[in-house]
Amino acid sequence: MVALWIVTALFAPWVAPHEPTSMGVGPTMAPPSITHWFGTDEYGRDILSRVIHGGRYVLAIAPASTLLGLVIGTLIGLVAAYNGRWLDEGIMRLLDAVMAFPIVVLALLALTALGSSTLNVILVIGLVFAPLIARTARAAALTEVRKEYVEAARLRGEGYFGVLMVEIAPNIRGPLLVEGTIRLGYAVFTSATLGFLGLGVQPPAPDWGLMVASSRSLLTTAPWAVLAPALAIGFVVIGFP
Amino acid sequence: MSLPLLAFEGLSVAFQRQGQWLEAVSDVDLTVQPGETVGLVGESGCGKSTLAMAALGYLPENARIPRGRVRLAGEDLANLNQSALQHRRGNRIAVVYQNPATALNPALTIGRQLTEIFEHQQAQSPIEARQAARRLLEQVRIADPVRLLDAYPHQISGGMQQRVVIAMALAGSPDLLVLDEPTTALDASIQAEILALFETLRTELGLAMLLISHDLAVVRSVCDRVAVMYAGEIVESASVAELFNRPRHPYTASLIDCIPAGKGHWETGRLASIPGHPLALGDRPGGCAFAPRCPIARDACHRQSVHLQALDHTHVSRCLFPQETALPGGNRPPATARKRALGPTVLECDRLVMEYAGIRILDAVSLDVREGETVALVGESGSGKSTLARGLTGLTAPVHGEVRLNGTALARAQRQRGLAQRRAIQMVFQSPENTLNASHRVGPALARALRSLGGFGWRAAQSRVPERLAQVALDADTAKRRPGQLSGGQRQRVAIARAFAGDPRVVILDEPTSALDVSVQSAVLDLLIDLQQRNGTAYLFISHDLAVVRYIADRIAVMFLGRLMESGPVEGVFQGPRHPYTDQLLAAIPGRGDGPPITQTRGENPGPEARPNGCPFASRCAFVMPHCAETPPPARAPASGRVVYCHLPLASLPGAGATDSTQAISSVTDQVTSYPASRSPK
């Protein structure tokens, strides 16, 4: 499922039967048919093409923001676990405070301040995910920092980041990988939510969240216009982990 | 002969690995008669724990029994259904495992865990059950059972935990106890107490026991009969006296010669070591399994399969040439005494104080190590040995005191020390599992150490890896392996090579062999001795095993609760007079005397929070006097270079000479009314 999505999104211009933004390629609000598999929307745009193209945004945003979250989160988690004591306390309480806000509220706040663009969406999702990943990284690193190979590295006088990145980081790969794939699914979801709220990618770009938002008034007359992008989001979110 | 309680009849156990059935245990015949204690000895991976699981009908899912059977009091285990099996476990046969901490449920009180057994299995009322639980704790010699019933497992010491586990095993009044490495996780002195407890239980309850251990000395001190396993087969079985005085299998003989007996320094005779490695599962050659490592193997051994043969009615051996087996001591290399010149003092610390969370763990300890010398640091867990190591290396900064290297004071924190100072002091750690980084291959890991300690460039460091591996007797191939693919002994060798990467002046060895099999231990000790001979390195050897210390150390420093109890040359301390605490540690070496070591249940260790002003050992000392806990003990010097911190006059110290000390003690007793006259000094 996910592989199919990645392939179609990568080759969207060749796979999609129509331009995602060109209007009137068919009748308006046509139900699914042989020519338009997912039907068309209120401007007569082909929904299948829009869903396929919309995948490209998600493909860019989700992995990039997750990667950013992983890098920042792992670093914070490692520093907290390795230094321990007051620095650990301080960092973790600060993260607790940040995590007390719902992710979407935080993202909303940041995006309203920064203005919305694809890059900003990536930055914001990455940053709000970082505390969650930092907790996982810290928990995994806590058992590692007590191990003797870390002491041996300190005895050799390896540098601070040498110990963190070369010695400890490779040994917490497992939990981080699991956390990363879960976050990847959530990143899709979060970016769609932001799109739905109009803070992500701007129209007429075929973003899934945006599509759900703009067509939701048609829910009774042309449910396919909402259903198709909604199902796409659902499959990808569930498919990742 | 009566019906044996437990009988393995030609038992084989196979495990499925990647679609193949591999035999972990082959054709084992072994019986345990009522009231008998049988030892089962072998190195890790020889199949002894598999045998224990088979005895309980506890084999894992991926195991099957292709041949033979297990009989429990005549019943074939294979014919029993689950509920019948469940009933036999507990009422006929019970088991005690190695690690008491994981055998107890941390969320329930000791009382709850014990009464549960009586309430559920024997349908007793809560009051009856609590009384039964109390009786059980008394049976395992717990001094204050009522208080213990309401304690949680983490509130009591490891030795106490193991007593509770034994009590739980006794709850169903079984006829047979299976003890799977019951003392391996414990300190030497606690081990001695638990072994003494087994002896008591045996005489009081007439229990039969199957004691599984890698430690021949433990088995020797409590068993009637011993079976030795190698590569899944029993290679020899005999009475204890027979086996240790006249072994008839070369493996047994080599194993005996690997044990440090606590009687001599290495200069007077090295330990034996067994060349090669134990066989991997499913890697068995056609002939005798031990032939590739055997000192007397010849062509026939490699070709024909060898069966157990009876030498007399109790002694059996799986060797073609049992009469040629060397006598104990015969496998040891001839003594190569070598005069070693000790150099000047390399590392010393002066009144070092270390605290953790405001609690003083180390209380003004001074110590020095000279070039080419091995100083052993001895004491039980919690005595502050490892804390001292951390203070010397600067991994944890001391609160007071000074550490000097070649006379120059070092910065307290390791980070503030220069490269030359860092490379001069290195460490080898205890646990073979954690000492190496699991995600680094051996080659790059060593190269990394050579780079940061040896000051080599990346290429130069890499090109030196094979040579460094050769120095610790490892193949150049090892460089490509990950730690997970190496045995414990191999990993410890890599750790040693890593510590020696910058040609250190002092290496602190924190229990480097305590997690290893005896044959591997002797090989690692040998390696350490050779490295010291070659490089003149000074060692600070931390250990709780006095037998090992006697073998490797020149001087010894004994610690208790963060204070130094005594220090001096090893010979002097072993001969006496010595500190009462040292005496207690010595008595705990299993198999050192003729019978099992006798140690009384002692007072509690007050812990570092409640360390008395005076002697910290006072609450556990057999010679305690009223003022011991109040006034700090004076330093006494029984001989030049020796110090004993004790209130007893020199002539009354343990080991001062039997007749003298008894007189001295009686004169002390005259003055002190509360003196417990329970124990006579050795």
Q: B658 vs B385, which has greater pLDDT?
A: B385
Q: How much is the average pLDDT of A146-175?
A: 91
pLDDT digits (tens, 9 = 90+) for B472-509: 989 899 999 999 888 888 999 999 999 999 999 999 99
Give the CB-side neighbour count of residue B639, counting CA atoms within 13 A: 13
| Nearest-by-Cβ selection for B439 from A151, A156, A171 | A171
Chain B residues near residue A176 by CB distance under 8 angstroms: none
Does residue B407 sit in the same domain as residue B444? yes
B453 in any annotated domain:
yes
How much is the pLDDT for A34? 72
Is B437 close to A151, i.e. CB distance below 8 A?
A: no
| Nearest-by-Cβ selection for A154 from B395, B440, B495 | B395
Q: How much is the average pLDDT of A111-126?
A: 85
Banded model confidence at residue B270, pLDDT cuts 50, 70, 90: confident
Measured between CA atoms, how close is A55 to chain B, in angstroms?
36
Cα–Cα dist B49/B47, whole Å: 6
Measured between CA atoms, how close is B252 to chain A, in angstroms?
34
Does residue B547 sit in the same domain as residue B446? yes
Is B419 close to A148, i.e. CB distance below 8 A?
A: no
Q: How much is the average pLDDT of A226-240?
A: 80
Measured between CA atoms, how close is A240 to chain B, in angstroms?
26
For residue B509, what are the contacts with CB-CB under 8 A and spacing of at least 6? Answer: B427, B428, B528, B539, B540, B541, B542
Would you state the structure tokens that stand for residue B409, as one six-digit string?
């004071």
Does residue B82 sit in the same domain as residue B182? yes
Measured between CA atoms, how close is A147 to chain B, in angstroms?
6
Chain B residues near residue A152 by CB distance under 8 angstroms: 427, 429, 435, 495, 498-499
Q: What percent of chain A is helix, strand and coil (3-state, nearest 5)?
A: 75, 0, 25
Q: What percent of chain B has pLDDT over 90?
A: 41
Chain B residues near residue A86 by CB distance under 8 angstroms: none
Does residue B412 sit in the same domain as residue B358? yes
How much is the pLDDT for B673? 32
Which residue of chain B is at minimal alpha-carbon distance from A147? B434
Does residue B448 sit in the same domain as residue B583? no
Is B395 close to A156, i.e. CB distance below 8 A?
A: no
How much is the pLDDT for A66? 93
CATH classification of A55-239 is 1.10.3720.10, yes or no?
yes
Measured between CA atoms, how close is B453 to chain A, in angstroms?
6
Whether a cis peptide bond, with omega within 30° of 0, leads into A204 is yes
Residues pairing with B676 in the sheet: none
Q: How much is the average pLDDT of B432-454?
A: 92
Is A155 close to B426, i.e. CB distance below 8 A?
A: yes
Which residue of chain B is at minimal alpha-carbon distance from A173? B439
B331 in any annotated domain:
no
| B281: pLDDT strictly greater than 80 | no
Banded model confidence at residue B586, pLDDT cuts 50, 70, 90: confident
| B594: pLDDT strictly greater than 50 | no
CATH of the domain at B88: 3.40.50.300
Does residue B76 sit in the same domain as residue B14? yes
Cα–Cα dist B668/B238, whole Å: 48
Q: Look at residue B515 and give its three-state secondary structure.
A: coil
Q: Look at residue A166 and give its three-state secondary structure.
A: helix
For chain B, which residues lie within 8 Å of any Cβ of chain A, measuring from their own Cβ?
A: 393, 395, 414, 417, 419, 422, 425-427, 429-431, 434-440, 448-449, 452-453, 495, 498-499, 501-502
| Nearest-by-Cβ selection for A147 from B425, B434, B499 | B434
Q: What percent of chain A has pLDDT over 90?
A: 31
For chain A, which residues lie within 8 Å of any Cβ of chain B, measuring from their own Cβ?
A: 147-149, 151-158, 166-167, 170-171, 173
Cα–Cα dist B440/B450, whole Å: 15
Does residue B498 sit in the same domain as residue B435? yes
Tokens 């980081």 correspond to what residue?
Answer: A169
B246 in any annotated domain:
no
Least confident of A86-100, B594-608, B621-635: B594-608
B240 in any annotated domain:
no
Which residue of chain B is at minimal alpha-carbon distance from A167? B437
Contact present, B632 and B614 (Cβ < 8 Å): yes
Which residue of chain A is at minimal alpha-carbon distance from B483? A149
Contact present, B71 and B54 (Cβ < 8 Å): no
Chain B residues near residue A170 by CB distance under 8 angstroms: 437, 439-440
| Nearest-by-Cβ selection for A155 from B414, B434, B438 | B414
Cα–Cα dist A200/A208, whole Å: 10
pLDDT digits (tens, 9 = 90+) for B38-91: 999 988 888 888 898 898 888 888 888 999 999 998 888 888 888 888 888 888
| Nearest-by-Cβ selection for A152 from B419, B425, B435 | B435
Domain ranges of chain A: 55-239
Does residue B443 sit in the same domain as residue B549? yes
Is B435 close to A149, i.e. CB distance below 8 A?
A: yes
Would you state the structure tokens that stand for residue B116, as one six-digit string?
């549960």
Is B427 close to A152, i.e. CB distance below 8 A?
A: yes
Does residue B424 sit in the same domain as residue B493? yes
Is A155 close to B434, i.e. CB distance below 8 A?
A: no
| Nearest-by-Cβ selection for B435 from A148, A167, A171 | A148
Residues pairing with B15 in the sheet: B22, B63
Measured between CA atoms, how close is A75 to chain B, in angstroms?
19
B203 in any annotated domain:
yes
| Nearest-by-Cβ selection for A148 from B393, B422, B429 | B429
Is A156 close to B449, i.e. CB distance below 8 A?
A: yes
Banded model confidence at residue B681, pLDDT cuts 50, 70, 90: very low
- Average pLDDT value over all residues in chain B: 86
Neighbours of B10 (CB within 10 A): 11
Is B430 close to A171, i.e. CB distance below 8 A?
A: no
Instruction: Assign 3-class secondary structure to B171-204.
Output: CCCCCEEEEECCCCCCCHHHHHHHHHHHHHHHHH
Banded model confidence at residue B596, pLDDT cuts 50, 70, 90: very low
| B599: pLDDT strictly greater than 60 | no
Does residue B449 sit in the same domain as residue B515? yes
How much is the pLDDT for B603? 64
- Average pLDDT value over all residues in chain A: 84
Measured between CA atoms, how close is B681 to chain A, in angstroms?
40
| Nearest-by-Cβ selection for A157 from B419, B431, B498 | B419
Closest to B72 (Cα-Cα) out of B84, B62, B59: B84
| B137: pLDDT strictly greater than 50 | yes
Is B429 close to A158, i.e. CB distance below 8 A?
A: no
Is B437 close to A157, i.e. CB distance below 8 A?
A: no
Q: DSSP letters of B416-479?
A: GS-HHHHHHEEEE-S-TTTSS-TTS-HHHHHHHHHHHHH---HHHHHHHHHHHHHHTT--GGGG
Chain B residues near residue A155 by CB distance under 8 angstroms: 393, 395, 414, 422, 425-427
| A140: pLDDT strictly greater than 90 | yes
Cα–Cα dist B280/B296, whole Å: 22
pLDDT digits (tens, 9 = 90+) for A32-62: 777 777 777 777 777 788 888 887 788 888 8
Q: Where are the alpha helices (DSSP H) in B291-365?
A: 299-303
If one counts the domains in chain B, the total is: 5
Q: Where are the alpha helices (DSSP H) in B455-579?
A: 458-471, 488-499, 518-535, 546-552, 570-575
| B553: pLDDT strictly greater than 60 | yes
Does residue B275 sit in the same domain as residue B361? no
Size of interface A-B (CB pairs under 8 A): 53
Measured between CA atoms, how close is A84 to chain B, in angstroms?
13
Measured between CA atoms, how close is B437 to chain A, in angstroms?
6
B97 in any annotated domain:
no
| B658: pLDDT strictly greater than 60 | no
Cα–Cα dist B101/B218, whole Å: 21
Banded model confidence at residue B445, pLDDT cuts 50, 70, 90: very high
Banded model confidence at residue B664, pLDDT cuts 50, 70, 90: very low
Is B437 close to A170, i.e. CB distance below 8 A?
A: yes
Mutate to test the interface with A, among B431, B439, B509 (most CBs of A within 10 A): B439
How much is the pLDDT for B336? 67
Is B437 close to A173, i.e. CB distance below 8 A?
A: no
Does residue B401 sit in the same domain as residue B488? yes
Is A155 close to B495, i.e. CB distance below 8 A?
A: no
Mutate to test the interface with A, among B437, B442, B498 (most CBs of A within 10 A): B437
How much is the pLDDT for B390? 92
Measured between CA atoms, how close is B455 to chain A, in angstroms?
11
Is B439 close to A158, i.e. CB distance below 8 A?
A: no
Show the domain range for B22.
1-92+174-223
pLDDT digits (tens, 9 = 90+) for B331-352: 788 776 666 678 899 999 999 9
| B180: pLDDT strictly greater than 80 | yes
